[in-house]
């Protein structure tokens, strides 16, 4: 009888396939992918620029994720004063063609106008997705506002529809093997969307079961609570306001290892051919 340690069994595929018998510790994984590419941007490191292409009025934006990091999307944290707006549609000077946009309100009010759905007032948890080619009419309310902005060049195969909604209207989805609550803000069964936004809720002490390694990219904003994030081989304490970028194949795991619940906003590219 051979064992894995017996050199005479070296060339036996069966031995190579046998499971390594390590205890499955919470949050521990042997998965490694190099080079690790990720960013943790704590609130004290945000750098705001006083303008954003296609926006008017007083606006300041911290670009947390851009293609310079290797991402195929941009994620901004934006503070906008009363009256700021993006009314030029996608056609501002230098705008990439096929631009699509997702805006998620953190504070204050934002009004959006979309061809088929009229004008809507968005407050905390409200969002708008502008499909490529759509006019991106967004007006900031009297008190000003802050929001997360995702801009991306559409790379999907079917033209998606624009959506205005609120996270409170999105039903929670069961994820096999996981205990967190997942809400997807865009229709997960529509293959037209080339990204989705997940709102992930963890009760105190809850953690992800899968120590994920996947081809998708992530942008993340901690909306509530704190915990510990595994990125590559390192663990980082994270708290409300922290923003993260995860490149494809970065091993990742989260535990809400504290006395409070935790919630985060998560960009994930979907429905595109990994080739």
Contacts with Mn ion, residue ranges (CB under 5 A): 212
The residue of the chain with the least Cβ separation from Mn ion equals 212
Least distance to Mn ion from the beta carbon of 214, Å?
6
Residue 266 contact partner, candidates ligand UGY, Mn ion, none, CB within 5 to 8 A by sort of partner? ligand UGY
User: What is the closest distance, in whole angstroms, from the C-beta atom of residue 64 to ligand UGY in the complex?
Assistant: 16
Phi/psi class of residue 265: alpha, beta or left (left: φ > 0; alpha: ψ in -120 to 50)?
beta
For the bound state, the minimum distance from the C-beta of residue 168 to ligand UGY, rounded and expressed in Å, comes to: 20
Q: Which C-beta is closer to ligand UGY: that of 70 or that of 98?
A: 70
The length of the chain is: 275
Beta-strand (E) ranges in the chain? 38-41, 48-49, 59-65, 73-80, 85-86, 99-114, 118-122, 126-130, 137-153, 163-166, 181-184, 195-202, 218-224, 226-231, 234-239, 243-246, 252-255, 262-269
Q: In this complex, which beta carbon is closest to Mn ion, that of residue 212 or of residue 269?
A: 212
> Using CB under 6 A as the criterion, which residues of the chain lie in contact with ligand UGY when the complex forms?
198, 200, 212, 218, 252, 254, 266, 268
Cross-strand pairs, 102: 129, 150
Min. distance of Cβ 35 from ligand UGY in angstroms? 19
d(CA 269, CA 215): 9
200 binds, among ligand UGY, Mn ion, none (CB under 5 to 8 A by kind): ligand UGY
């Amino acid at each position: 009888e051979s064992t894995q340690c017996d050199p005479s069994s070296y060339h036996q595929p069966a031995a190579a396939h046998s499971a390594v018998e390590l205890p499955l510790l919470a949050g521990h994984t042997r998965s490694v992918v190099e080079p690790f590419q990720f960013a943790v941007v704590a609130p004290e490191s945000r750098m705001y620029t006083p303008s954003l292409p296609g926006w008017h009025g007083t606006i300041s934006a911290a670009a947390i994720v851009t293609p310079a990091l290797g991402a195929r999307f941009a994620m901004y944290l934006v503070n906008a004063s009363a009256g700021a707006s993006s009314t030029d549609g996608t056609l501002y000077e230098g705008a990439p063609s096929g631009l699509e946009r997702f805006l998620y309100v953190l504070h204050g009010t934002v009004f959006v106008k979309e061809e088929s759905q009229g004008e809507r007032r968005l407050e905390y948890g409200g969002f708008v997705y502008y499909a490529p080619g759509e006019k991106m009419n967004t007006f900031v309310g009297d008190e000003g506002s802050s929001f997360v902005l995702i801009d991306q060049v559409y790379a999907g195969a079917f033209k998606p529809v624009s959506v205005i909604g609120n996270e409170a209207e999105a039903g929670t989805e069961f994820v096999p093997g996981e205990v967190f609550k997942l809400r997807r803000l865009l229709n997960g069964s529509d293959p037209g969307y080339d990204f989705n936004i997940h709102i992930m809720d963890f009760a105190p002490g809850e953690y992800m079961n899968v120590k994920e390694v996947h081809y998708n990219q992530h942008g993340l904003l901690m909306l509530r609570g704190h915990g510990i994030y595994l990125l590559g081989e390192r663990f980082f304490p994270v708290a409300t306001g922290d923003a993260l970028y995860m490149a494809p194949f970065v091993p990742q795991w989260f535990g809400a290892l504290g006395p409070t619940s935790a919630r985060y906003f998560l960009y994930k590219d979907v429905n595109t051919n990994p080739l």
